[in-house]
Structure 1
Amino acid sequence: MTVLGRLTERILGLPAASTSATSSAGAGAVGVARDLRVPMADGVDLLADLHRPRGAGPLPAVLVRTPYGRRQALVRVLVGVLARRGFQVVVQDVRGTGGSGGDFRAFHDERADGLATLAWLRAQPWCDGRVATAGASYLGFAQWALAPYADPPLAAMGLGVTASEMVGSFYPGGALSLHNTLVWSSLMGTRDGRPLTHARRVRRAMRHLPVGEADTAAVGRPEPFFREVTANAERREFWDATDHSAAVAATTAPASMVTGWWDLFLRGQLRDFEALQDAGRQPRITIGPWGHDLKALRAVLLDQVSWLDAHLHGDAAAPRRAPVRLHLQGAGRWLDVERWPPPGTEPTPLHLSHVLTWDGDASGAEPLAFTYDALDPTPSVGGPLLAPGRGGQRDNTRLERRGDVAVLTGAVLDRDLDLIGPVSAVIHVRTSTGHGDLFVRLSDVDPRGVSRNVTDGVLRIGAPGIVRAEVEMRPTAYRFRRGHRLRVLLAGGAFPRFARNHGRGEPAGRAVASRRVRFEVHRDADHPSSLLLPVWRG
């Protein structure tokens, strides 16, 4: 084991490598065969590195497929942790990245290339036919593009902060996810050796119009993935072949997942987990107080090592834990439950009346009104962002003082209130132009008056008259403490997390001109507006 490997594992708090496979050849005795050529059906070769214990016979293989470079730092951490614990690891650059041939078309080619790689792996004399997969984010999506179609099935899957479909993260509620899309595409657009684009330049580029050309402002040239996302915001069928969610329930490979309450793929990953549970599978999931960031790395590595130990090394003790382990934010404690959503959760409406109320009395409540201006867009604060130090839970006090938002606050709580599960809102709203984005946020107000975001959601509206807007918000597990208050904020956007809605109904990627949009939120007896909160009484 290298000094760097020991240091990395100590920093991450990982247990020492002590599997039978490593001890038989000496701790850390790992051989590496580089630049193996894996042929695809169309004649393109993808390159891979093989890490295996020296002197070992045929072993199961752990496949890691990445667009970030098989020798990139975080990929090396994952591969190194696994290899030093006696796993045989094959790490491959996906099509058009690293040294692999072909063109990189994000998300499009992972099914065919993954299946071809799996067939090649199983035919190698050093593989005993069993293949598992591991990784996080895009590396997790690459697993979902393969696993449902593998015959025979994979031996195990380790799925960190990822989902079987990514389209819901490109266009949540129909709005264009500008910040995360531009950040990721700028990263991919500078992976060819040019200096990584400075974060400030990328952030400035988010204001560029039309938004479909913001990639040029960020990295100096068009970036194919960003162009595809912005050009197809109104054509979701373009992404159909990249959506593997319909095949999740039929997947029999044992799956272990890690996600975070502030991860951008949280909703999709929980849907995958529910689909597996409803199909009678036995997946497990850990949901922690982190986002799509380094804080999740330790949990992903610990989870995947234990899961692969169980299914490839026969460690019978590894899976012995509750199927769902979640962190209850605000309480600072972990809960082990049998299902998601957990038993004991009661969906309860919180009504938008003169104030926030549980009793539903909306007598005499006038519509709430605010005006959204795309030239001075309502800013985003916190949330699931690919931006260290900007995402997650933040102080919303300044945002709530703006004139382009509406805010309602509930009474002081006389006892702790736990919410665990999916959150949604039904808001009756009229826009002056028939177009707009409705942003809904639930926050926690402490006794000092500081307001911090807990969950939110957005919905793109494109119809005249009063619209019954059903807004899917982010699931949560959160304790509102006694003495705190609940607060709901309503706005016409959250920029640059979501691209501006220009109020004219033009395609999101091409819009430049804008109209101010007046929102009226109705909350009378004929148009009751409310949030549906998962009150947990467990």
Structure 2
Amino acid sequence: MTPSSLDTASHPKPLFEVHIEQDVRIEMTDGVGLYADLYRPRGAGERLPTILIRTPYSKAPYRSVNNAEMKRAVAHMFGGQGFNVVVQDVRGLFRSEGTFHVAADEAKDGYDTVDWIASQPWSNGKVGGYGCSALGISQVVMATRQPPALKAILPQAAGGAMRNRPGDILVSGVPEIGWALEWFRNYGNRRSQVPEKINYHEFLQSLPLSDMNERSGGSPNDWPDWVTREPDDQWWHQINCFDESSRPNVPALFVDSWYNVSVNETLDLFNAFEKQSTTEQARRNQYVIISPTGHCQSELTETPFIVGERDVGDIRLDYWSIYLRWFDHWLRDGDGDIEMPRIQYYLMGANCWKSADSWPLPETRFVPYYLSSGGNANTSNGDGTLSTAMASGPADRYHYDPTDPTPSAESIRGRGDGSAADQRDVDLRPDRLVYTTEPLRSGVEVTGPLRAVLYVSSSARDTDFIVMLSDVYPDGRVFNLQKGVARARYREAYIAKARHLEDYRDPSLLTPGKIYRIEVNMEATGNWFGPGHRIRVQVASSCFPHYARNLNTGGNNATETATAVAENTLYHDYHYPSHIILPIVP
């Protein structure tokens, strides 16, 4: 993003001058000191509500009111509107004491910090949480401890708090390495040092996965554990996560974006907080806003907005007024429910904001679209079709070679995996099956969770299947909407709708040539396929480097260097009706 797209012009004008007290030590119950900066508005009153921001990215950049990034200027913004703001370095990073482990201490340290804030003479006893990604995850897991003074949270891009997708790093048991190695090296290392730069796209092609951080000169961090441990390893129990046993008790405004990697989990959190909160008031006051941007970019104001390479129109929403009204209500007034739409989402393609009361959207029909071909669906020049009518045809076959994996178009085009990129080049690879509808006569809204059911066989003992949904424009451009991955050895967990990593127990290798049913969780989207557009589904066995490669040997994909070429077959006939299930909104 250019600096101009991240300026603070849309922030409300400050009402108060803000004084910063730097490096205040807050002692946790185990004696470890976490350091925070305290922002206090002058002349706003003696006892004020407080907004807490807990960050692994250093509290220091928040101090500059001229910081180009709005996410770092928010401490001054909230302070200028009459809130105390506490920005804290998490345990073991920057000034804070202790040892840093990803998502291991967020719940108890968050609880202790809220408790400390409420006891201060400048506090009115009410605290709200704010922040995106790791900062959002911190709020969600903190809420499971029910700190008495925590009265509202505003977690953004916090789907990685869910037990089945910890830290956004594991999806369906497969590591997302396209961004994760860079994150561990730059932000998750215990020395709080930025290491020497490397070409990540080139380096990720090396093997093995397990020692990439060490080989790249990175400082010690948790990378080896996160990429080598099996999903059902007891080690994962130390990670703070949200699951069906969690009992929050706080109103929450979730914010996320269609091109974020875990938007479906954010929507799951919205439903879970509504169902599992311990008071009626908390259950009634769960809200979500979904924009069409990439990770932690919802508040950007460029018009028209280009997400990667896709123009999604005028996406502006008065976020800062919404956020201030949210915290004003819960941290100052706190009486009664807040009035706002339960769900606000941007419908891409139609390029407009819409609202609803529940998720999935009311009256959604989950419609199967069947994959079919004459046996030659390889590339977009093949004969693959997609239709609501079940058809029978010969199976499609392709070779997947881990040494030449099907690439992520977003990565090779320099757009990152959290954005839209034209898929036409990748759709010409013979190791990608392509199924497309006829041009639509009338528009179709597809908004909701996505799932694919494939009937497959392989010559390998294990392999992956990646399914992507795309919008084909009348001029031929092909923009990705969502994708999902399934590792064949975990197929039983997918069919059982696994909600925890431990549900991936007893992985089972394939019998070469045998046909299996594979289900693929494809996240969620909100897209209008206009007249003349076509709906496309692409199937491959890698999306590199977004997902770590399956080496096809049936062994440990993190520690091995040996690979095998797999011949993978996709069946689509009356006995094996491979299909994608689309949420059609009438």
What TM-score, normalized to structure 1?
0.90
Distance in 2 between residues matched to 1:231 and 1:193, nearest whole Å = 23
Distance in 1 between residues matched to 2:295 and 2:196, nearest whole Å = 20
Distance in 1 between residues matched to 2:212 and 2:543, nearest whole Å = 18
Task: Please list the CA deviations of residues 31-82 of structure 1 after superposition, one character each: whole Å capped at 9, or x if unmatched.
Answer: 2222211112222111111111225312222211111111125564121111
Q: Where does 1:249-328 land on structure 2 (aligned, <5 Å)?
A: 250-279=247-276, 280-296=283-299, 301-314=320-333, 319-328=338-347
1:486 maps to which residue?
Answer: 535
2:403 maps to which residue?
Answer: 375
Q: Among 343, 346, 349, which residue is 1:330 paired with?
A: 349
Distance in 1 between residues matched to 2:266 and 2:245, nearest whole Å = 11
Q: Structure 1 stretch 290-299 or stretch 205-214: which is displaced more?
A: 290-299
Q: Structure 1 stretch 147-156 or stretch 170-179: which is displaced more?
A: 147-156
- Contact 1:347-1:533 within 8 A present in 2 as well: yes
Distance in 2 between residues matched to 1:10 and 1:458, nearest whole Å = 36
1:175 CA drift (Å): 1.7
Q: Structure 1 stretch 292-301 or stretch 234-243: which is displaced more?
A: 292-301
Distance in 2 between residues matched to 1:318 and 1:84, nearest whole Å = 26
- Contact 1:353-1:360 within 8 A present in 2 as well: no
- Contact 2:399-2:568 within 8 A present in 1 as well: yes
- Contact 1:176-1:233 within 8 A present in 2 as well: no
- Contact 2:99-2:190 within 8 A present in 1 as well: no
Q: Structure 1 stretch 391-400 or stretch 469-478: which is displaced more?
A: 391-400
2:78 maps to which residue?
Answer: 82
2:483 maps to which residue?
Answer: 456
- Contact 1:213-1:222 within 8 A present in 2 as well: no
1:238 CA drift (Å): 2.1
Distance change >3 Å, CA 213–CA 346, structure 1 → 2: same
2:229 maps to which residue?
Answer: 232
Distance in 1 between residues matched to 2:9 and 2:321, nearest whole Å = 9
Distance in 2 between residues matched to 1:447 and 1:490, nearest whole Å = 22
User: Which ranges in structure 1 are unaligned for 5 or more consecutive residues?
Assistant: 1-6, 18-26
Distance in 1 between residues matched to 2:554 and 2:252, nearest whole Å = 42
RMSD of aligned C-alpha atoms? 2.6
Distance in 1 between residues matched to 2:416 and 2:231, nearest whole Å = 32
Distance in 2 between residues matched to 1:136 and 1:498, nearest whole Å = 22
Q: Structure 1 stretch 479-488 or stretch 271-280: which is displaced more?
A: 271-280
Is the counterpart of residue 44 in structure 1 residue 43 in structure 2?
no
- Contact 1:9-1:15 within 8 A present in 2 as well: no
What TM-score, normalized to structure 2?
0.83
Identity of aligned residues (%): 30
1:21 maps to which residue?
Answer: none
- Contact 1:175-1:437 within 8 A present in 2 as well: no
- Contact 1:444-1:484 within 8 A present in 2 as well: yes
Q: Where does 1:379-390 land on structure 2 (aligned, <5 Å)?
A: 379-382=407-410
Distance in 2 between residues matched to 1:295 and 1:152, nearest whole Å = 30
2:447 maps to which residue?
Answer: 420
1:173 maps to which residue?
Answer: 172
Give secondary structure in 2 for the equivalent of 1:209.
Answer: coil
1:494 CA drift (Å): 0.5
1:244 CA drift (Å): 2.9
1:158 maps to which residue?
Answer: 154
Distance change >3 Å, CA 458–CA 351, structure 1 → 2: same
Give secondary structure in 2 for the equivalent of 1:211.
Answer: coil
1:288 CA drift (Å): 0.5
Q: Among 462, 465, 474, which residue is 1:447 paired with?
A: 474
1:221 CA drift (Å): 3.1
User: Which ranges in structure 2 are unaligned for 5 or more consecutive residues?
Assistant: 63-68, 277-282, 302-316, 374-383, 490-509
1:302 CA drift (Å): 4.9
Distance change >3 Å, CA 43–CA 501, structure 1 → 2: same
Is the counterpart of residue 147 in structure 1 residue 196 in structure 2?
no
- Contact 2:391-2:574 within 8 A present in 1 as well: yes
Distance in 2 between residues matched to 1:278 and 1:342, nearest whole Å = 17
Give secondary structure in 2 for the equivalent of 1:134.
Answer: strand
User: Which amino acid in structure 2 is aligned with residue 284 of structure 1?
Assistant: Y
Distance change >3 Å, CA 313–CA 237, structure 1 → 2: same
Distance in 2 between residues matched to 1:135 and 1:477, nearest whole Å = 24
Task: Please list the CA deviations of residues 332-377 of structure 1 after superposition, one character each: whole Å capped at 9, or x if unmatched.
Answer: 11101111111121000000123434443323x1111111001111
Give secondary structure in 2 for the equivalent of 1:307.
Answer: helix
Distance in 1 between residues matched to 2:185 and 2:321, nearest whole Å = 30
Task: Please list the CA deviations of residues 412-467 of structure 1 after superposition, one character each: whole Å capped at 9, or x if unmatched.
Answer: 21111110101100001111112101011111222232222122111001232211
Is the counterpart of residue 496 in structure 1 residue 576 in structure 2?
no
Distance in 1 between residues matched to 2:35 and 2:192, nearest whole Å = 18
Give secondary structure in 2 for the equivalent of 1:156.
Answer: strand
- Contact 1:48-1:91 within 8 A present in 2 as well: yes
Distance in 2 between residues matched to 1:117 and 1:159, nearest whole Å = 17
Distance in 2 between residues matched to 1:415 and 1:492, nearest whole Å = 33
Give secondary structure in 2 for the equivalent of 1:382.
Answer: helix
1:179 CA drift (Å): 0.8
Q: Among 64, 69, 86, which residue is 2:53 paired with?
A: 64
2:308 maps to which residue?
Answer: none
- Contact 2:166-2:241 within 8 A present in 1 as well: no
2:438 maps to which residue?
Answer: 411
Distance in 2 between residues matched to 1:382 and 1:138, nearest whole Å = 23
Distance in 1 between residues matched to 2:55 and 2:409, nearest whole Å = 31
- Contact 2:190-2:221 within 8 A present in 1 as well: no
Task: Please list the CA deviations of residues 384-410 of structure 1 after superposition, one character each: whole Å capped at 9, or x if unmatched.
Answer: x9x756641111111111111111221
